[in-house]
Amino acid sequence: MKIWVKILFFALILVSAAISVLFYMNRANVYAALGEYYTKRDNYSSAQHYYEKSFLLGNQDRGFREKYVNLLINSPLTIEAQERLVNIAEDSKKDSASESAKYFLYNLKREIHNKYPDNYIQQAPYNEKIVHWGKLPITYTIKQPKGVPHELVTAVNDAFDTWERASSARIRFERTAINPDIVVSFTNYTIKKPKEGEKYVVAYTVPSISSNKLNRMDMVLNISNIDGKLFTPNQIYNTALHEVFHTLGFMGHSFDKENVMYLAQTTDMLNEDERRNLTEADKSTLELFYKIKPDITNANEFRYEYIPYPVIGDNADVNYAKADEAKKYIRKAPRVPSGYIDLAQTQINQKDFLGAMDSLKKALFLSNNDETKFLVLYNLAVTCLLDKDYILAEFYVKKAMEIKDEDDLHVLSAQIYTGTKDNNGAIKEYSYLLAKNPDNIDYVSNLANLYLKQYDYIKARKILKAYIRRNPQEKNNPRFRPCKLLLF
């Protein structure tokens, strides 16, 4: 492209940007006025709609923000209203509006926990995200290899039934062999005798997540104890009862020994031959958990009452709770990788990359299956990327790909190329991802921006126009504002 063409194009972009700023500022004021008009007429739904439009267009006027927060606080507390309050409470503009939003959310949290006084919901997040299934029935299958008595399979079925009954019809399971959400399998390996006080590991559950979608949960149950004898049906039931809640997305634990989700069961507890009962805390935690809108799910067919923030707190609260749980888990189970993985995640959140690398390397050494190794290698790559060690990040991405080729690894690879300023490599990765997922707005936006950096406006426009043609409702998405001129 000739230099004068580039200059002309940039000039057009600057003029367009200036006009857009004035246009958006005017629209923001108009929408604010409409919001106030509908508020006075008690039409809160329309008022919220226009206030939100004004807010998204960048209206930061102090009086407007105060009116907007007051409207949200005094309107029906929908999921959308909670999300808007959090946006204001956590944004960079610290004023009376943000303080009012924070105070309201704090009181809402207290109200929720008064309603569910006996719970351990604080331990629910997985990598700071709420993960659970989003439609019914939640399907599962049980693989029964040779040598596994039918009574053990029946015990696992009973464990699913127990949680379903405890959910007050919120959860419904269905056993199927076709594309199940949850896969239960049995193994029979010799368990190394634990030291005194260590956790007796007889089962684990691993989530399969890609592009913020929950694909599957794998539950693995060992059928033999440290003496090589088969567990009884009641003992398998007790273990499965614990793991089923994990398969529902609750990846944390309780610190109370009475609860089914207690952090670490002793050998004596596992050898008890009486079926355990769900406590009120177990039931309350399940009920509250499935009333929270998830960050990662497989569908959005449930109706939710809360977003995560007013239930479990902000990221700092979540991180503190997770770090505490991980450290306790490691003390109980120093030879189990999951505790180190969880601890590493909290260290990453605190930007302690050296500590996270150390924790993850311990987890990798202890990993005894491909699913866990993949998870550890992925997190090692993420940690190195965040620490800008691109060579090591690329090494771990390649090691993870030897186990399985996931889209998230290609995203990491693209980010590594971007970090090393290899735009062609990043373009190759995002092109691959976009071919598989043409309606993924992240891939569209990132690829278009990469072409813009190379002054290839024709390719950038082609990608954007194709996406908008399939998703016309996204034309005014704020993410495309820098590329607005290319959409005409």
Residue found under tokens 């690329």: 394
* CATH (domain of 157): 3.40.390.10
Tens of pLDDT, residues 219-236: 999 888 777 788 899 999
- On whether both 36 and 177 belong to a single domain, the answer is no
Of 21-30, 234-243, 259-268, 279-288, give the lowest mean pLDDT range. Answer: 21-30
Question: Domain for residue 123, yes or no?
Answer: no
- On whether both 147 and 64 belong to a single domain, the answer is no
- On whether both 360 and 481 belong to a single domain, the answer is yes
- On whether both 286 and 333 belong to a single domain, the answer is no
Supply the DSSP symbol for 252.
-
CA–CA distance, 286 with 280 (Å, rounded to integer): 10
pTM, two decimal places: 0.73
pLDDT at 266 over 70: no
Question: Domain for residue 99, yes or no?
Answer: yes
Question: Domain for residue 469, yes or no?
Answer: yes
pLDDT at residue 25, rounded to an integer: 47
Using DSSP, state whether 374 is helix, strand or coil.
helix
- On whether both 299 and 321 belong to a single domain, the answer is no
Q: Residue 31 belongs to what domain range?
A: 3-115
Give the H or E element holding residue 175. strand 173-175
Domain finish residue from 254, 277, 307? 307
- On whether both 337 and 240 belong to a single domain, the answer is no
Taking residues 172-193, report their average pLDDT: 86
- On whether both 234 and 367 belong to a single domain, the answer is no
- On whether both 154 and 47 belong to a single domain, the answer is no
Total domains in the fold of the chain? 3
* CATH (domain of 103): 1.25.40
Residue found under tokens 């949850």: 182
- On whether both 28 and 170 belong to a single domain, the answer is no
Question: Domain for residue 427, yes or no?
Answer: yes
Cβ atoms of 343 and 326 closer than 8 Å: yes
Question: Domain for residue 477, yes or no?
Answer: yes
H-only helix segments in 299-336: 308-312, 315-332
pLDDT at residue 74, rounded to an integer: 87
Q: What is the mean pLDDT of the chain?
A: 86
The phi and psi torsions of 223 (rounded to 5 degrees) equal: -95, -5
**Per-residue confidence at 199, pLDDT binned at 50, 70, 90?**
low
Tens of pLDDT, residues 274-333: 999 999 999 999 999 999 999 999 998 999 999 999 998 877 777 887 888 888 888 877
pLDDT at residue 21, rounded to an integer: 44
* CATH (domain of 422): 1.25.40.10
pLDDT at 481 over 60: yes
Cβ atoms of 150 and 337 closer than 8 Å: no
Question: Domain for residue 478, yes or no?
Answer: yes
pLDDT at residue 201, rounded to an integer: 67
- On whether both 25 and 74 belong to a single domain, the answer is yes
Taking residues 175-192, report their average pLDDT: 86
CA–CA distance, 201 with 191 (Å, rounded to integer): 8
Of 6-20, 240-254, 294-308, 390-404, give the lowest mean pLDDT range. Answer: 6-20
Nearest Cα residue to 339 out of 372, 312, 313: 372
- On whether both 100 and 151 belong to a single domain, the answer is no
Taking residues 395-424, report their average pLDDT: 94
- On whether both 157 and 269 belong to a single domain, the answer is yes
For the four alpha carbons of 271, 124, 282 and 153, in that order, the dihedral sign comes to negative
Cβ atoms of 425 and 415 closer than 8 Å: no
pLDDT at residue 463, rounded to an integer: 86
Question: Domain for residue 132, yes or no?
Answer: no
pLDDT at residue 333, rounded to an integer: 78
Which region, left, alpha or beta, applies to residue 266 given φ > 0 means left and ψ of -120 to 50 means alpha? beta
**Per-residue confidence at 335, pLDDT binned at 50, 70, 90?**
confident
